Amino acid sequence: MESNESESPSDPQPHVPHAQQPAPSETAHTSPLQPFGFAFTGNTNEYFRIWIVNLLLSIITLGFYWPWAMVRTRRYFYSNTHLDGHSFDYLAKPKNLLIGYLIVLIFFAIYLLAGLFNPLFIYPVILVYGLAAPWMIYKAFRFRAKNTAYRNVRLKFYGNLGDSYVTFLVWAALIPFTFGFILPYWEMKKKEYFFDNLQFGKTFFNFKPKAAEYYKYYLLFFAIGMGLYFILIFLVIGAAALFGATADTYNPDIFAEEGLTILMIIGAVFGYAVLILIGLVFQKGLWLLVFNYNLSVWNLGRFGFESKMKFAKYVGIAVGNVFASIFSLGLLIPWAKIRITKYRIENIYVLARGGELGEHFGAEMEDEGAFGEAATDFMDFEVGL
């Protein structure tokens, strides 16, 4: 079993049979970038059943089945994601997820109890949580990367703990002092901490986004948001003045007042729905623009990435999903999740120069350690953040 490793097809051969033909490696450098798409084979028919069974088992065990449910769900999505005919693996052990889950549960219980005795007691709890959070994020990133594999090679997160404290504590603490102006920069630093510290086999990922791009998107959305906010305020004041005037003139009796109150409640509910809709469009839209940008500046050695997701299409799916999930009382959640995952995955491309994608991976992506070694590392866990 230890033999023919060197026969990997893309290894440059010393003897080229026909001198006229360029060597394969040269082809790779001169030919144009070629996109390789991902495929997603998950479907609602299958996933609905997995989801509802997991939900039932999670609630009848008062949440303790949750880590097993989580692993099954992730495994389902990973193993149905394919690149170049090979699927992804999610390798986490439910026990390790359970540890993280219990840590969060204990924190939350202490927080609630402290608040009951004296509202002031919650501040030390928040402080401890704040100090522990960067460590937990660091652990979670390592865990998530290590348990993601493609073609028997794991991802590795090699970011350090100090950087996590700088990113998630120092920069976060500066936000109030800068009146939120560094928020886009902070978002970028958070992404950078994860995506620039990843490694696949022996190859490193590179992620060097430009702050100007982040500011461009955030400021654009902020400006449109403020504009809409003022229009809404104007409409509300206008409506209130109109109703106020009619109420004064025509409706002095209590019945009409009740009618007016009902009208106001309906108006408030409608206004609230519109506000949520606008908020969702903004949230999903901003996520998409930043995501598309992030992929364009992310690369793995010679490979680049590209997202071809379209703004209107993506926002339509994402916002539609939220409303479908709410109005179906949750029953359409699996359908919504499959729909958005399919759209996301099937619009992401790996850019490679010529040849087959598999050849490049075969040639250079090799894991260092033994596969089973990392799996026994019980000190790593993931915290739901």
Q: Applying CB under 8 A, which residues contact other proteins?
A: 1, 3-5, 8, 41-42, 46-50, 52-57, 59-60, 63, 66, 68, 72, 75-76, 79-80, 86-87, 89, 108, 112, 116-119, 150-153, 201, 254, 257-258, 261-262, 265, 276, 279-280, 283, 322, 325-326, 330-331, 358, 361-362, 365-372
CB nearer other proteins, residue 59 or residue 241: 59
CB nearer other proteins, residue 152 or residue 246: 152
Strand 298-300 to 203-207 pairing: antiparallel
CB atoms within 10 A of CB 383: 19
We find the least distance from the C-beta atom of residue 208 to other proteins, in angstroms, to be 25
CB-count exposure of residue 118 (10 Å: 0-12, 13-18, 19+): exposed
We find the least distance from the C-beta atom of residue 262 to other proteins, in angstroms, to be 6
We find the least distance from the C-beta atom of residue 131 to other proteins, in angstroms, to be 20
CB nearer other proteins, residue 192 or residue 366: 366
Structure tokens at 325: 């999930």
Q: Nearest 5°: phi and psi at 193?
A: -55, -40
Structure tokens at 209: 């986004």
CB nearer other proteins, residue 86 or residue 216: 86
What b-and-e string marks burial along 59-96, b requiring 16 or more CB atoms within 10 Å of the CB? eeeeeebbbbbbbbbbbbbbebbbbbeeebbbbbbeeb
We find the least distance from the C-beta atom of residue 333 to other proteins, in angstroms, to be 9
Cβ contact 70:94 at 8 Å? yes
We find the least distance from the C-beta atom of residue 259 to other proteins, in angstroms, to be 10
CB nearer other proteins, residue 4 or residue 30: 4
Grouping H, G, I as helix, E, B as strand and the rest as coil, residue 37 is strand
Cβ contact 315:285 at 8 Å? yes
Q: In angstroms, rounded to a whole number, what is the distance separating the alpha carbons of residues 107 and 99?
A: 13
We find the least distance from the C-beta atom of residue 162 to other proteins, in angstroms, to be 27
CB nearer other proteins, residue 4 or residue 249: 4
